[in-house]
Structure 1
Amino acid sequence: MCGIFCVLSRSPAHLERDRAVDEHLRRRGPDWSRDLTVTGRDPHYQCLFSAHVLHMRGLLTPQPLQDNAGNVLLWNGEVFEGLPVTPEENDTAVVSQALLSCSGPSDVLSVLSRVRGPWGFVYYQKAGDYLWFGRDFFGRRSLLWKFDGGVLTLTSVAAHDSGWREVPAVGVYRVDLKAPAEGGAVTFEVYPWAYAGKKVVSPRSETVLECVPGGCTAVMNPSGLVLTSPVCPLNMSVPKSLHDTEPQPDTHSSVKDLELLLASKEKSDEVSGLIEVLSEAVRRRVQTLDSPSNDHASVAVLFSGGLDSMILAALADRHIPAHQPIDLLNVAFKLQEPKKQKDSAKNPQKQKNKPTDSKAPIFSPFDVPDRLTGRAGVKELQDLNPERRWNFVEINVTQEELREMRQRRIGHLVHPLETVLDDSIGCAVWFAARGTGFITEEEGHRPFSSSAKVVLTGIGADEQLAGYSRHRVRFQTSGYEGLIQELAMELGRISTRNLGRDDRVIGDHGKEARFPYLDESVVSHLSSLAVWDKADLSLPRGVGEKLLLRLTARQLGLRQSAVLPKRAMQFGSRIAKMEDTREKASDKCSRLLTA
C-alpha cells in the first residue's frame, strides 16, 4: 500500500504540494518516498508524481516506478489473483511490466480487468501522451480529485479544504494530454465497468457526470470499450411461491436454532461452499506478508466479538502459523457515570446509611457493549485454539482525546465525507486501527501497541447478507423483490459510503485495510445465491439476518457469537453517546466542518 499523489498542469507553472496533504501521505507510506516530474514539449504539460510506500511483500519497489520506455506508475493496491505474482516479486513491478506491453486502450483495460484485489492507480503512458487513473470495482482504495487554477490534482488523501471529491469507482479514466485545452480545462474519457458478455453498463457510471470537478468534462470513450466486472451480477430471482412467511416472534435466539438448520444437507452444503471461498479470501490476505518475529503479530482484526469479526479471526487462525499472535483490536469510548453513582458520591453520608449490595456491579466507564462481547469472543477463540496467543487489545478513548485527534487528524482523513455517521465511524475506526491500548495478562494490565501492518475488517458482510435493520423493514414492506433491490443498492454505493473513508483512516497509521468479505470470489459466490439462501428475515433477530453467515460461524465451532444480533459500531463502541444524541446519522456534522 502507499500514498499516491499526482499533479497535472498544462502551463509551465511551478507544481507544488500542500504541506498538510504531504504529511498525511507520508504516514500512509513510511518505508519509501520519492518524487518524479515528467514534462511534455508539444503541447506543453507537466506531471508531478509522488509516492510514499508501505512495503508489504517481495522486494521493496520504489515508487513512482518508471520503466525503460518512460512510462510512470503510481500503484496503491494488492494483486491477490489474476496476474501471477511469486512470493519474491512485488505486485507494483508486476503491474508495471504488464502495462508496458500495452499499446492501445483495450490492452490497458485487459490488464486491469484481470487484477483481483484492491487498487487505486495513476499511470502515465508516454507513447501517446496519456494519463490514466481510477479505482477498483468496489473502490477499496481511496482516490480524490480536485481541479483548481488549471491544475488537476489526484491524491490518496487530502486535507480539509474545499473542492476535493472522491473519484467515482465506476471505471477508469484517461486524459489525452495532446488534446487542446481551452483555458487549461481537462477532459476525461471514461471506461466503465460492465458485466462479462454484456454491453449493459452499470448505472453507477452515470454518477461520474455529477462528480467531476468544476472546470472538467467527463465523456464516455467513443470506442465503447469497457472493463470486465470482476464479479457476477446479483441473482435477482424471487421464490415462485411467494411464501411471505409471517414474521416469527422476536424470541431469544439460541445456538440450537442454527444446529437444527445445519442438520439439513442442503444448508450444510451451502455453508461448506461459503467457508471454502471465504477461507481462501482470508488466506490470500494473511499469507502474502513478510514473516514477522514470533513476538509480534503481522495481522490484526477490527474486533467487536460480533459475528463478522469472529469469523474473520477464526479463519485467520487457520492460515497464520500457530506460534504467531493475532491482535484483536477492540475500541471503547468512555461512558458517563450513572446518575445514581454520581449522587452517592455527592452525598457520602446518605450512602453510608443505605444497605450495601455486594452483588451490585461496579461501574467501569469503558465497559461498552462491544467490550463485553469482545471479551466473550476471545474466550470462544481461545477454546478453538488454546495454543494461539490472542492479544485482546482494549483501546480506551476519552472525550478529550477524541476531540484533539479529530481536530488534528481524523477530520482531514474523513473529508470530503461530512455526515454524523462518517464522523462516528471514522473516529472509531481510526482509534481502533491505531491499536494503542492494553492487554490483560496474569500479572495484570500491560500497555500494548499493535505492530500489525494488515488490519482485517468485516465491511461487506451486512451489505450482502441483509444484516442491517433497514433490510428487515424493506422485507416486511416489499417482500423479496424489495429486499433484493436494497441489497443491489448497498453493494453499488459501498465505495462512496464506506471504503474510501476507511482506507484513508486506517492507512494513516501506516497500516493496510483488507476486506475479505469483498474478495471478488466471495462476492461472486454470494451474488450467485438466491436471496433466501443468504437470509430469512421471517426468523427472529440473531438468526434470520445473515443466516448463512451464522450457520457458517456455528460450523466453524463458534457458539454464542453466532447468534448475536447486529450492532452498529457507533453504538457498540458508544461513540454515539459522546455527542449530541438528537443528531441524525445523515446530518452534516459540525464537528467535521470545523476540523
Structure 2
Amino acid sequence: MCGIFCLLSLSPTRCVWDKTLHEHLRRRGPDLSQDLTVGGTDPCYQCLFSAHVLHLRGLLTPQPVRDDTGNVLLWNGEIFGGLPVMPGENDTAVLSERLSSCDGPSEILSVLSAIRGPWGFVYYQKAGDYLWFGRDFLGRRSLLWKFDAEANALTLTSVAARRSGPGPAQSAWREVPAAGVYRIDLKAVTQAGSVTFELYPWARGGSGLVSSCSPTVLESVPSGCTAVMNQSGLALASPVRPLNTSIPKSLNEEEIHPNSHSHVEHLERLLASQEKNDAVNRLIGVLSEAVRRRVQSLPFEALDNSPPSNEVAGVAILFSGGIDSMILAALADRHIPAHQPIDLLNVAFKLQVPKKQKESAKKSGKPKNKPTDSQSDGDDPQTSGPFDVPDRFTGKAGLKELQDLNPERRWNFVEINVTKEELQKIRQERICHLVHPLDTVLDDSIGCAVWFAARGTGFIMEDGDQRPFTSSAKVVLTGIGADEQLAGYSRHRVRFTMSGHEGLIQELEMELDRIPSRNLGRDDRVIGDHGKEARFPYLDEDVVSHLNSLPVWEKADLSLPRGLGEKLLLRLTATQLGLGQSAVLPKRAMQFGSRIAKMEAHHEKASDQCTRLLTE
C-alpha cells in the first residue's frame, strides 16, 4: 500500500504543492518516500509525482516507478489475481512492466480489467502525453481530486488535509468516483487552458456501452473541469458478475416459530439438508481463498526471511465478536501458521453516565447501570465498568469460541479503550482530515471507531493481569461488505416487508453500487494512517461474483426472526465452521456496539453534517 500524490500544473511556473499533505501521505507509507517531476516543453505542463511506500510484497520497490521510456507509475494496490505475480516479485514492478508494453488505450484497459484486488493508480504515459488515473471497480482504495483555478493545477492524492475556516476550500476535495478510469490528454488541455477528463467506464451489469457520464461522475468533477465519455466507446470489463435478480415463484419453507427451538438448533437442522450443506461449503471455499490471499501475502514470506516471532502477529482483525469478524478469524486460522498470533482489535468508548443518573445514584447510594440503547442496536448487557460496551461482551464471548476452535493459537484480544478527551483531541489533530471530504455524523462515528481500533493500542490479559499492548500487524482485515451483500441491515428487513423480494433485490443492488462512495475510501484513509493496510475479504471479486450469482432467498430469509434470517447463508457458514452463539448474534452497528454514538451528542441523525469534524 502507498500514499500517492500527483500535481498537474498547466502553467509554466514550477510545481509547488501543499506540504501539509506530506505528513498524511508519509504515515500511509513509512518505508520509503520519493518525488519525481516530469513535464512537456511544447506545450508546457509539469507533473509532480510523490509516493510513500508501505512495503508488503516482494522486494521493496521505490515509487514513483519510471521505466526506460519515461512512463511513470504511482500504484496504491494489491494484485491478488488476474495478472501473474510470482513469489518474491513486487506487484508494482510487475504492473509497470505490463503497462510499458501497452500501445493504445484498449491494451491499458485490458491490463487493468484483468487485475483482481484493490487499487488506486496514476500513470503518466509519455508517448502521447497522457495522464491516466482511477480506482478499482469497488473503490477499495482512496483517491481524491481537486482543481485550483487560480494556479491552474489539478491535484490527485490518497488523502487530503482539511483546511480550517469557512469558504470553498472546505468543499474543494472530492472522491474520484469508482466509475472507471480517467485519461487526460496533456497536450490538449495545456493548449485549451482547462482540464477535461476522458472517462473509460466499467461495463456494469452487462448493459453494453455507456454514451454519457453518469450523474455520480458529473457531480464529483472538480469545479473548473469537465468530464466526457471516451469517443472510442471503450470500457473496462467488469470483474464481478451481475446481481441475480430472479424472484421466487414460491418458497415451500417450514414455518418458523421463534420460541419453538433455538436459532442455533434451527441452523443445525438446515445444515442437515444436502442442498444447504453444499451451498455453505461453496461459500466457505471461495471466502476461505479470499482470506488466504490476504493473510499470506506478507513481506517476510516474499523475502524468504525468518517469520515473525511467536509474540508478533502479521495480521489483525477489526473484531466485535459478531458473525462477520468471527468468520474472518476462523478462516484466517486456517491459513496462518499455528505458531503465529492473530490480533483481535476490540474498541470501546467510555460510557458516559447522564447527570440525572449520577445525582440519583448519589442520593440512593447505589450505582445504576447504563440504560439500554433505544436506537435499535440490541439490548445492552448489564455493565460493571466504564468500558463494558456491547462489543466488549460479544468480543470476549467470541474469543472463547475461537480459543475452543484452536487452543494452540495465541489469540491476542486487544482491549482498546478510548476516553472522550482522547477522542476529541485525536479527531481534531488527525481524524477530521482523514474522513474528509465525507462529513456526516455516521462518517465521524465510524471513522473515529475504525481509527482507534486500527491503531491497536490497548492491553491484553495475561495470567489474569492486564499488560499494555500495541498491535504491530501491518495487515488489518475488516468485515465490511457482508451486510451489504447478504441483507444484514435493518433497512433490508423494512424494504422486504414493504416490497418483498423485488424491493430487497433493488436495495442490495443499490448497496453495492454506492459502497465505494459511502465506506471504502474513508476506511482506507483511516486505517492507512497507521502505516497499515485495510483488506476486505468479503469484497474479493470472486466472493462478490459468487454471492451475486445466488438468488436472494439463498442469501437471506427475512421472514425469519432477527438474528437468524438476515445473512442466513453466513450464519449457516459460521455453524459449519464450528462457531456457536456468535452465529446467531443480531446485527449491531459499530457506532452502537462500541458506544461512540453515545459519547457526545445524542440527538443527531446519521446523515446530519457533523460539526465536530470542522477544524478550528
Please state which band the TM-score falls in when normalised by the shorter chain: over 0.9
> Any residues of structure 2 matched to 1:518-537 within 5 Å, and which?
518-537=539-558
Bigger shift: 232-241 or 381-390? 232-241
Bigger shift: 269-278 or 334-343? 334-343
Confirm or deny: 8 A CA contact 2:45 2:190 kept in the other structure. Answer: no
* Aligned position for 2:230: 221
Aligned mates of 2:29, 2:189 — CA distance in 1: 36
Aligned mates of 1:244, 1:522 — CA distance in 2: 26
Q: Does 1:256 find its partner at 2:265?
A: yes
> CA, structure 1 residues 533+284, in 2 after alignment: closer, same or farther (shift >3 Å)?
same
Give the secondary structure class of the aligned counterpart of 2:103: coil
Q: Does 1:298 find its partner at 2:300?
A: no
Q: Deviations over 1:507-555 (max 9, x none)?
A: 0000000000000000000000000000000000111000000000000
Aligned mates of 1:251, 1:173 — CA distance in 2: 57
* Aligned position for 2:77: 77
* Aligned position for 1:105: 105
Aligned mates of 1:105, 1:365 — CA distance in 2: 58
Aligned mates of 2:566, 2:260 — CA distance in 1: 14
Confirm or deny: 8 A CA contact 2:202 2:238 kept in the other structure. Answer: yes
Aligned mates of 1:480, 1:362 — CA distance in 2: 39
* Aligned position for 1:307: 323
Q: Does 1:271 find its partner at 2:288?
A: no
After TM superposition, give the deviation of residue 332 of structure 1 in Å: 0.1
> Any residues of structure 2 matched to 1:320-331 within 5 Å, and which?
320-331=336-347
Q: Does 1:428 find its partner at 2:449?
A: yes
Aligned mates of 1:361, 1:46 — CA distance in 2: 62
Give the secondary structure class of the aligned counterpart of 1:40: strand
After TM superposition, give the deviation of residue 338 of structure 1 in Å: 6.9
Confirm or deny: 8 A CA contact 1:35 1:51 kept in the other structure. Answer: yes
Unaligned runs of 5+ in 1: 353-359
Q: Deviations over 1:208-265 (max 9, x none)?
A: 1111001100000000000000000000000123789998658885210100111111
Bigger shift: 203-212 or 164-173? 203-212
> CA, structure 1 residues 274+182, in 2 after alignment: closer, same or farther (shift >3 Å)?
same
After TM superposition, give the deviation of residue 21 of structure 1 in Å: 1.0
Match of 2:564 among 519, 529, 543: 543
Q: Deviations over 1:401-437 (max 9, x none)?
A: 0000000000000000000000000000000000000
After TM superposition, give the deviation of residue 337 of structure 1 in Å: 3.6
> CA, structure 1 residues 93+331, in 2 after alignment: closer, same or farther (shift >3 Å)?
same
Identity %: 76
Q: Does 1:157 find its partner at 2:166?
A: no
* Aligned position for 1:401: 422
Give the secondary structure class of the aligned counterpart of 1:336: coil
Give the secondary structure class of the aligned counterpart of 1:304: coil
Give the secondary structure class of the aligned counterpart of 1:179: helix
> CA, structure 1 residues 300+252, in 2 after alignment: closer, same or farther (shift >3 Å)?
farther
* Aligned position for 2:295: 286
Q: Structure 2 counterpart of 1:151, which letter?
A: A
> Any residues of structure 2 matched to 1:3-402 within 5 Å, and which?
3-148=3-148, 149=150, 150-161=152-163, 162=169, 163-181=172-190, 184-195=193-204, 199-201=208-210, 205-241=214-250, 253-291=262-300, 292-337=308-353, 342-343=358-359, 346=362, 363-402=384-423
* Aligned position for 2:166: none
Q: Structure 1 counterpart of 2:113, which letter?
A: S
Aligned mates of 1:124, 1:538 — CA distance in 2: 53
Work out the number of aligned pairs and report it: 587
> Any residues of structure 2 matched to 1:479-490 within 5 Å, and which?
479-490=500-511
TM-score by length of 1: 0.95
Aligned mates of 1:214, 1:553 — CA distance in 2: 48
After TM superposition, give the deviation of residue 207 of structure 1 in Å: 1.6
- Give the aligned CA root-mean-square deviation in angstroms: 2.1
Aligned mates of 2:260, 2:25 — CA distance in 1: 49
> CA, structure 1 residues 247+500, in 2 after alignment: closer, same or farther (shift >3 Å)?
farther
* Aligned position for 1:355: none
Q: Structure 2 counterpart of 1:284, which letter?
A: R
Confirm or deny: 8 A CA contact 1:245 1:538 kept in the other structure. Answer: no
Q: Structure 2 counterpart of 1:156, which letter?
A: S
Confirm or deny: 8 A CA contact 2:3 2:28 kept in the other structure. Answer: yes
Match of 1:442 among 458, 463, 481: 463
Unaligned runs of 5+ in 2: 164-168, 301-307, 368-380
Confirm or deny: 8 A CA contact 1:248 1:538 kept in the other structure. Answer: no
Q: Structure 1 counterpart of 2:143, which letter?
A: L
Match of 2:523 among 492, 495, 502: 502
> CA, structure 1 residues 72+336, in 2 after alignment: closer, same or farther (shift >3 Å)?
same
Give the secondary structure class of the aligned counterpart of 1:480: helix
* Aligned position for 2:373: none
Bigger shift: 504-513 or 7-16? 7-16
After TM superposition, give the deviation of residue 594 of structure 1 in Å: 3.3
After TM superposition, give the deviation of residue 110 of structure 1 in Å: 0.2
Q: Structure 2 counterpart of 1:385, which letter?
A: N
Aligned mates of 2:197, 2:366 — CA distance in 1: 72
Aligned mates of 1:248, 1:205 — CA distance in 2: 46
Give the secondary structure class of the aligned counterpart of 1:82: coil
Aligned mates of 1:104, 1:412 — CA distance in 2: 38
Aligned mates of 1:19, 1:252 — CA distance in 2: 62
> CA, structure 1 residues 244+549, in 2 after alignment: closer, same or farther (shift >3 Å)?
closer
Aligned mates of 1:364, 1:204 — CA distance in 2: 53
Bigger shift: 360-369 or 503-512? 360-369
Give the secondary structure class of the aligned counterpart of 2:268: helix
Confirm or deny: 8 A CA contact 1:253 1:543 kept in the other structure. Answer: no
> CA, structure 1 residues 362+223, in 2 after alignment: closer, same or farther (shift >3 Å)?
closer
Q: Deviations over 1:428-455 (max 9, x none)?
A: 0000000000001105000000000000
Bigger shift: 14-23 or 49-58? 14-23
Q: Deviations over 1:554-587 (max 9, x none)?
A: 0000010000000000000000001211100000
Confirm or deny: 8 A CA contact 1:418 1:589 kept in the other structure. Answer: yes
Give the secondary structure class of the aligned counterpart of 1:178: helix
Q: Deviations over 1:305-358 (max 9, x none)?
A: 00000000000000000000000000000002477983477459x569xxxxxx
* Aligned position for 1:466: 487
Q: Deviations over 1:281-315 (max 9, x none)?
A: 00000001023333200000000000000000000
Aligned mates of 2:506, 2:291 — CA distance in 1: 28
Give the secondary structure class of the aligned counterpart of 2:299: coil
Aligned mates of 2:224, 2:179 — CA distance in 1: 20
After TM superposition, give the deviation of residue 18 of structure 1 in Å: 1.7
Confirm or deny: 8 A CA contact 1:204 1:492 kept in the other structure. Answer: no
Aligned mates of 1:587, 1:245 — CA distance in 2: 42
> CA, structure 1 residues 581+46, in 2 after alignment: closer, same or farther (shift >3 Å)?
same
> CA, structure 1 residues 274+156, in 2 after alignment: closer, same or farther (shift >3 Å)?
same
Q: Structure 1 counterpart of 2:26, which letter?
A: R
Bigger shift: 198-207 or 153-162? 198-207
Give the secondary structure class of the aligned counterpart of 1:74: strand
> CA, structure 1 residues 498+197, in 2 after alignment: closer, same or farther (shift >3 Å)?
closer
